[in-house]
Amino acid sequence: MMLILTAIIILLGLALGSFSNCLIWRLYKQESIIGRSYCPLCQKKLSWYHNIPVLSFLFLKGRCHFCKQKISWQYPLVELAVTGLFLFFWLAALKFQYLDSESLFLLLQRPNFYLYLLKDLVAAWVMIVIFVFDLRYYLVSNLVVWPATLFFIIINLYLGVIWWHILLAMALAALFFGTQYLLTRGRGLGEGDIWLGLLLGALLPNLNSLIIAILSAYVVGSFVGIALIASGHKSWGSKLPLGVFLALGALGALIWGENILQYYWRLF
Ligand SMILES: [Zn+2]
């Protein structure tokens, strides 16, 4: 039973990972997301067997079937990342235990079990999309951020989070990024990052988690920035895509949130 459900989660991760690659490309090109997949290099329509997550990349040896040009590593990597996170959140929901059918059945009957799992899986998927999109195109797409924000507000309300806690977290995060936006006159970070702040607040209405997400984004971002400058890949004053690190920070807060907090409080 547990194996079957785990297999379903893996297949779901592969399918949604594959969909996020397609979504990222079409959002960038501002195309409709309906319609058959095609090779971004030669525009030829792909058959279903060119579209199997990870496997197609392997048996095509990383090249398009038609034009033989190299397919970006982004495709299998994103598919694997989404699948890996799905698997992690699923196993975390089971507290990393092997459950026999009976105890699994009891767990699945718990109120809100599915809602918590759904929230984590959607968060994983959305953050991967934001991460890759910002990394590749230095953009945060509002077509992803707005619906996701609405989704997390609704699901957190369903899960019993007090409405003004959500509102407060969203306001504080937006204020934080909005102030920086004004102070740097939009050079330090983009308008998209303010919307992203609202999304983070909606996803992490617990202020401790929110602070961890934003703080770790800045810490990791600074280290990466310094490393890039030291290695000569970037110069002072060149832009780093903040959304990349905020997406990582949000995932980090979801995965390690409580552990980091405990460690943090022990320092005082
Ligand atoms: Zn091609």
With respect to residue 236, please indicate whether it lies within any of the assigned structural domains: yes
With respect to residue 130, please indicate whether it lies within any of the assigned structural domains: no
In whole angstroms, what is the distance from residue 246 CA to residue 265 CA? Answer: 23
Domain range enclosing 60: 1-110
What's the CA angle centered on 267, arms 222 and 196, to 5 degrees?
A: 40
Tell me how far the alpha carbon of residue 48 lies from the centroid of ligand 1, in angstroms.
Answer: 15
Tell me how far the alpha carbon of residue 38 lies from the centroid of ligand 1, in angstroms.
Answer: 8
With respect to residue 12, please indicate whether it lies within any of the assigned structural domains: yes
Q: Write the CA distances from 170 to 55, 225, 260, integer angstroms.
A: 40, 27, 22
Tell me how far the alpha carbon of residue 82 lies from the centroid of ligand 1, in angstroms.
Answer: 24
Radius of gyration over every alpha carbon of the chain, rounded to an integer in angstroms: 20
Neighbours of 159 (CB within 10 A): 13
With respect to residue 90, please indicate whether it lies within any of the assigned structural domains: yes
The pLDDT value given to residue 169: 97
Closest CA to 121 of 12, 6, 211: 12
Tell me how far the alpha carbon of residue 80 lies from the centroid of ligand 1, in angstroms.
Answer: 22
The pLDDT value given to residue 240: 79
Q: Are residues 156 and 213 in the same domain?
A: yes
Q: Are residues 105 and 145 in the same domain?
A: no
With respect to residue 84, please indicate whether it lies within any of the assigned structural domains: yes
Q: Are residues 103 and 152 in the same domain?
A: no
Tell me how far the alpha carbon of residue 65 lies from the centroid of ligand 1, in angstroms.
Answer: 6
Tell me how far the alpha carbon of residue 140 lies from the centroid of ligand 1, in angstroms.
Answer: 27
Q: Are residues 58 and 98 in the same domain?
A: yes
DSSP state of 21: H
Give residue-wise pLDDT tens across range 164-202. Answer: 999 999 999 999 999 999 998 877 788 889 999 999 999
Q: Are residues 150 and 262 in the same domain?
A: yes
With respect to residue 119, please indicate whether it lies within any of the assigned structural domains: no
State which of 95, 110, 125 marks the end of a domain: 110
The pLDDT value given to residue 16: 96
Neighbour-count burial of 9, counting CB atoms closer than 10 A to its CB (0-12 exposed, 13-18 middle, 19+ buried): buried
Which token pair is 222? 């600074």
Q: Are residues 106 and 207 in the same domain?
A: no
The pLDDT value given to residue 234: 80
Tell me how far the alpha carbon of residue 68 lies from the centroid of ligand 1, in angstroms.
Answer: 6
Tell me how far the alpha carbon of residue 63 lies from the centroid of ligand 1, in angstroms.
Answer: 8
The pLDDT value given to residue 187: 76
Q: Are residues 145 and 249 in the same domain?
A: yes
Tell me how far the alpha carbon of residue 46 lies from the centroid of ligand 1, in angstroms.
Answer: 9
Residue for token pair 């919307």: 195
Q: Are residues 155 and 106 in the same domain?
A: no
The pLDDT value given to residue 262: 72
State which of 57, 90, 110 marks the end of a domain: 110
Q: Are residues 94 and 166 in the same domain?
A: no
The pLDDT value given to residue 154: 98
DSSP assignments along 176-245, one per residue: HHHHHHHHTTTSSS-HHHHHHHHHHHHH--SHHHHHHHHHHHHHHHHHHHHHHHHTTSS-TT----HHHH
With respect to residue 88, please indicate whether it lies within any of the assigned structural domains: yes
With respect to residue 120, please indicate whether it lies within any of the assigned structural domains: no
The pLDDT value given to residue 185: 81
Tell me how far the alpha carbon of residue 51 lies from the centroid of ligand 1, in angstroms.
Answer: 13
The pLDDT value given to residue 81: 97
Tell me how far the alpha carbon of residue 138 lies from the centroid of ligand 1, in angstroms.
Answer: 25
Residues with a beta carbon under 5 angstroms from ion ligand 1: 39, 41-42, 64, 66-67
Render each residue's pLDDT in the chain as its tens digit; 268 residues.
899 999 999 999 999 999 999 999 999 999 888 888 899 889 899 988 998 999 999 999 999 999 999 999 999 999 999 999 999 999 999 989 999 999 999 999 988 999 999 999 999 999 999 999 999 998 999 999 999 999 999 999 999 999 999 999 999 999 999 999 999 887 778 888 999 999 999 999 999 899 999 999 999 999 998 998 888 888 776 777 899 999 999 999 998 876 776 776 777 6
Q: Are residues 206 and 91 in the same domain?
A: no
Please tell me the total count of domains within the chain: 2
Which token pair is 57? 């990349």
Tell me how far the alpha carbon of residue 203 lies from the centroid of ligand 1, in angstroms.
Answer: 38
Pair 169, 202: CB distance under 8 Å: yes
Tell me how far the alpha carbon of residue 241 lies from the centroid of ligand 1, in angstroms.
Answer: 29
Q: Are residues 151 and 266 in the same domain?
A: yes
State which of 59, 91, 110 marks the end of a domain: 110
Tell me how far the alpha carbon of residue 72 lies from the centroid of ligand 1, in angstroms.
Answer: 11
Q: Are residues 220 and 263 in the same domain?
A: yes
Give residue-wise pLDDT tens across range 14-54. Answer: 999 999 999 999 999 998 888 888 998 898 999 889 989 99
Tell me how far the alpha carbon of residue 163 lies from the centroid of ligand 1, in angstroms.
Answer: 49
